[in-house]
Homo-oligomer: A and B are copies of this chain.
Amino acid sequence: MSDKFDNVSVGKKANVFFDGKCVSHSVFFPDGSRKTVGVILPGSQLTFNVGAPELMEITSGTCDVKIAGEAAFKTYTAGTSFKVAENGSFDIHAKDEVNYVCSFG
């Protein structure tokens, strides 16, 4: 997995969640799609409610994640990913600084 996205547009205004425990910037692709590149600070225990379906790709760090409807938390590390259904939610516990790429739809 490359450490950059090329030939994109990037939003100058950050997306700040949970008082800064999660911060991302929006990335826009030539095909009109959007992703975010984001970070979750170490020790954060957050619950995200999603609208459109989301693919969360962990690019660095370790986190425990429980997706709504699943029985237990699973551990995700760099190079792994999980999907969240439309209007779903997930709990994420960052063991250290977690970087991710979120894709929508």
Contact = CB atoms under 8 A, between A and B. Distances in A.
A60 B7 contact: no
Contacts of A62: none
Copy number of this protein in the oligomer? 2
Interface residues of A, number: 30
A10 to B, nearest CB: 5
Given A10-B37, A16-B41, 4 more contacts: A8-B9, A14-B37, A14-B97, A20-B21
Contacts of A11: 3-4, 37
Interface of A: 2-14, 16, 19-21, 23, 25, 27-28, 37-39, 41, 59-60, 97, 99, 101
Contact of A41 (B8, B20, B59, B99): B20
